[in-house]
Structures are given as C-alpha cells and as structure tokens.
C-alpha cells in the first residue's frame, strides 16, 4: 500500500443515564453503565488517509489545523488501529462537524466514533460493531455509544474486552427529540477527560455509582415501555446527581450559567402542565430538553420567552456510525 482512505459519518449522542468517572483512565473503563440516544441531523464526517509518504499524523478540524493535545489524542487512537492492523503508516485526518464543538454537545463522541470506523476501514480491518465500539471508547468513553444505532446502552464491563455499547432499541422505537439549548457556544474550561479524573474526589461519587444499576434499570425500562413520565424523573435525577458530583469535586466543577438554571427550574413546571419534556446536561452549560416529537414546537415557543438563549438545535433519534463513499 502507498495510500488508502476511508470516510465515516457519526452522530453525537445525549446520555439519559450518565457516565462520569473511570475505573481505568487509560482504557476509559467507566465506573458505571450509561444509556443514550444518537442525535440525528448533527454529524461529524471524518476522512482518514494513510500514506507511506507521510512522516507524521496530521489533523484538520473544520478547516483548522490542530496541533498539541488534540492531535496527540487522535494519534493515540491511530496507534491502537495501527497495532491492530499491523501497519505503521501515518495518517492525515480531516474532520468537519455541523454543530458547536466542546460546549456540551458531545463533539468528541462523534469525532472518535467516526475516526474509529474510518481509520480501521482504511487499514483494511473489518471490525464488528462490538469491536468498533471498544475501539471508539479508547478515544472518548462516550464515543462507544455513537457506534450502534438508536437507543444505546454502554455495558461498563471490567476490562477492555467487555466494555462496549449495544443498541437497546432502534431509532424508530420512540419519537423522542433532543432540543439543545445553547446558552454558551464557547469551549468549556474543563473538558470531560480532566473531569472524569476528579470524580473520585467528590464524597458523593461512591453513592452515585452504587445507585447506578437502579437508575439504569428504570431508564432502560422506561425507554422500552415508552413511559415518558418514568423516563423524565430518572433522567433529571441522574443529571442532577452527576452535576452534584462535579460541584463537590476538588477542584470544583461548576458548568451551569444563569440561563441554564432558569431553564432547569421551569422545565418540571412545564411537565406539570402536561408537556412531555425533561432536561439533562453534559459537561457544559448547555441544556438538552428531551421532548416527545409532537411537542417540539410548543417547547420551542415557550423557550422564546426565556433570557440568555443563543441558539436552539433540534435532533431526533439518529442512526449509528457508517461509512460513506469517498468523494475526493
């Protein structure tokens, strides 16, 4: 081989039951299982070119050349792929996304899921969904959940072998939508990799982990039975628990902005009015409203009256990571 290339597309995902804290940081083995759905309409497209002429890896994200830690993280994942394929070529990675990066919209999940499929395919590997999910996990834990389609559960496992995500229901199973309310589009101060490493410093993390199987059971059953009320309650509790751990870590992680809090306060009231909506937040100030599709316009209208909102993105449940034909 002198040159070989592949392009993959992946969606970010929103966790309904969250992952926070690792039992093994290098392998990104999580302390607890998690459940998410992929965000259709939002995507990262990544092209990987391996060439025997290259003398280093390179990375371009949204037309900007990336060096330092971003490139290092990509090279580390490429090293795993090179090792699996038994080939030592360097790669050019070109990635574009159609949503804000680094602001609580799980950009690294889509990025590493797409990179895993494109890089492994370009080097001639044909990995199973499980093995692709395991590979994506090495780049960003939540990326393992962007590999399978629809509603997804990450089985935490205890080793590299048994920590991967599976689809628990197809995207067509239930018409939920993520209405993503952007209150701050800039890069967050402390990313999730650093945040996971602090989780154990919170006295609340142990209790959060111990209770995770119960929350996972409630969340999974609520999805399978399309029980919005049960889902809403556990999703909000789970998000609040994770943020309680963040806020009580040392140093403290406080991601909320005033606009975040005003939305968090009003959403349960909207639910009492009969609107099927609940909130969840990742490691950032932006707030994800999980809404039944038939109520999206009403929720958007109600959001119009609230201050501090910069942008609203709407994402239905999406498919898994897939290859697309190379157009260059």
77, 18, 13, 37: which is closest to 196 by C-alpha? 18
Tokens representing residue 309 in the block: 């909102």
Nearest distance in Å: CB 142, ligand PMV: 3
Give the integer Cα–Cα distance in Å for 164 and 250.
29
Residue labelled with tokens 């597309």: 9
Of the residues 147, 177, 283, 289, which one makes contact with ligand PMV according to CB under 6 A? 283
Q: What is the DSSP code (8-state) at residue 317?
A: B
Instruction: Compose the 24-63 pattern: x for residues touching ligand PMV by CB under 6 A, - for all others.
Output: ----------x-----------------------------
Nearest distance in Å: CB 26, ligand PMV: 13
Q: Does 99 bind ligand PMV (CB under 6 A)?
A: no
Give the integer Cα–Cα distance in Å for 153 and 142.
10
Residue 277 forms beta bridges with which residues? 291
Peptide bond into 251 cis (omega under 30): yes
Of the residues 133, 142, 163, 205, which one makes contact with ligand PMV according to CB under 6 A? 142
Q: Which is nearer to ligand PMV, 6 or 246 (CB)?
A: 246
Of the residues 12, 100, 141, 148, which one makes contact with ligand PMV according to CB under 6 A? 141
7: Cα separation from own chain's centroid: 20
Q: Does 282 bind ligand PMV (CB under 6 A)?
A: yes
Give the integer Cα–Cα distance in Å for 174 and 190.
34
Q: How many helices (H) and strands (E) does the chain have?
A: 9, 16
Q: Does 15 bind ligand PMV (CB under 6 A)?
A: yes
Nearest distance in Å: CB 16, ligand PMV: 9
**Site size with ligand PMV, rule: CB under 6 A:** 16
Q: Give me the helices (H) in the chain, please.
A: 68-85, 107-122, 129-139, 192-198, 205-210, 212-224, 228-247, 258-272, 296-303
- Part in contact with ligand PMV (CB under 6 A); list of ranges 47-55, 85-93, 101-109, 228-236: 101-109
Nearest distance in Å: CB 4, ligand PMV: 28
Give the integer Cα–Cα distance in Å for 18 and 35.
7
Q: Is 302 left (phi over 0), alpha (psi -120 to 50) or beta?
A: alpha
The pairing of strands 58-61 and 90-97 is parallel
Q: Which is nearer to ligand PMV, 20 or 174 (CB)?
A: 20
Q: Does 167 bind ligand PMV (CB under 6 A)?
A: no
Q: Which is nearer to ligand PMV, 198 or 283 (CB)?
A: 283
- Part in contact with ligand PMV (CB under 6 A); list of ranges 18-26, 250-258, 264-272, 304-312: 18-26
Q: Does 107 bind ligand PMV (CB under 6 A)?
A: no
Q: Which is nearer to ligand PMV, 44 or 140 (CB)?
A: 140
Residues near ligand PMV (CB under 6 A) are: 15, 18-20, 34, 106, 108-109, 140-142, 192-193, 196, 282-283
């Amino acid at each position: 081989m002198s040159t070989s290339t592949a392009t993959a597309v992946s969606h970010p995902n929103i966790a309904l039951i969250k992952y926070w804290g690792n039992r093994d940081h290098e392998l990104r083995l999580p302390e607890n299982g998690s459940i998410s759905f992929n965000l259709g309409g939002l995507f990262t497209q990544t092209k990987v070119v391996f060439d025997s002429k290259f003398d280093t890896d390179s990375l371009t994200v949204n037309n900007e050349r990336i060096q330092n830690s971003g490139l290092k993280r990509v090279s580390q994942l490429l090293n795993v792929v090179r090792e699996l394929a038994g080939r030592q070529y360097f790669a050019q990675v070109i990635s574009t996304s159609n949503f804000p990066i680094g602001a609580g919209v799980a950009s690294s999940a889509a990025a590493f899921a797409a990179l895993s499929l494109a890089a492994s395919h370009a080097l001639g590997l044909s990995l199973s969904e499980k093995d692709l999910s395991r590979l994506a996990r090495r780049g960003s834990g939540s990326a393992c959940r962007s590999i399978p389609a629809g509603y997804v559960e990450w089985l935490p496992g205890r080793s590299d072998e048994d920590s991967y995500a599976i689809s628990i229901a197809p995207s067509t199973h239930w018409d939920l939508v993520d209405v993503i309310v952007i209150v701050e589009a800039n890069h967050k101060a402390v990313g999730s990799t650093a945040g996971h490493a602090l989780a154990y410093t919170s006295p609340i993390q142990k209790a959060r982990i111990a209770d995770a199987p119960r929350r996972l059971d409630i969340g999974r059953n609520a999805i399978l039975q399309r029980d919005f009320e049960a889902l809403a309650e556990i999703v909000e509790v789970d998000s609040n628990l994770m943020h309680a751990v963040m806020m009580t870590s040392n140093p403290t992680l406080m991601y909320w902005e005033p606009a975040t809090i005003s939305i968090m306060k009003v959403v349960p009231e909207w639910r009492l009015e009969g609107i099927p909506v609940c909130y969840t937040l990742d490691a950032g100030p932006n707030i994800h409203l999980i809404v039944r599709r038939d109520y999206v316009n009403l929720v958007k209208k109600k959001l119009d009256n609230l201050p501090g909102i910069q942008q609203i993105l709407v994402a239905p449940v999406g498919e898994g990571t897939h290859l697309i034909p190379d157009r260059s």
